[in-house]
Structure 1
Amino acid sequence: MSEGGGRERESGLMWADGAGHGEPSARARTLAARRRDNPPGPVPFRGEPEYRGPSGRSSWVSAAVVLGRVVEVTVPLGHVGLRPY
């Protein structure tokens, strides 16, 4: 890169950094107008999750099912290992 090109680039960067912000985009204006006309309601800090999965069971029931399956597999395997042959 030539010396003149470096100065031109530096000058362009300084001009871009010093430029003020223009008006917001059309999407930002639309969203601001929609929010102004219909403000959102209050939201709790941590609300209860409404999604309970495809089966509709809560998480503790799912955990109990998984624990039951683990016990169901490990108990017979433990008894097989304890029998002397």
Structure 2
Amino acid sequence: MSERDDEEREFDLKWADGAEQKEPSARARMLAARWKENPPGPVPFRADPEHVGSRRRSSWVSTAVVLGCVAAVIVLLGYINFRAPY
């Protein structure tokens, strides 16, 4: 019975793919309706040069914070291990 279902499903997919016109997705219809009333403004492809520098600094700061936290955990674990009685 499952082989027949597979054959029917394959036939349906071929039939659907062969359609001349395809209906847009629900999201595409929603965006088309929204943009008809209020079209979106232009969006630049690349970021402004002034924002690029601030992102580089923040990545260094976040890297330093992560490495500092890792170092603090290592020191804390070493201190706990040093004080623990054997």
TM-score bracket relative to the smaller structure: 0.3 to 0.5
TM-score of the two chains, using structure 1 as the length reference:
0.36
Structure with the larger helix share:
2
| Higher RCO by CA contacts (8 Å cutoff, separation 6 or greater) | 1
Larger radius of gyration: 1
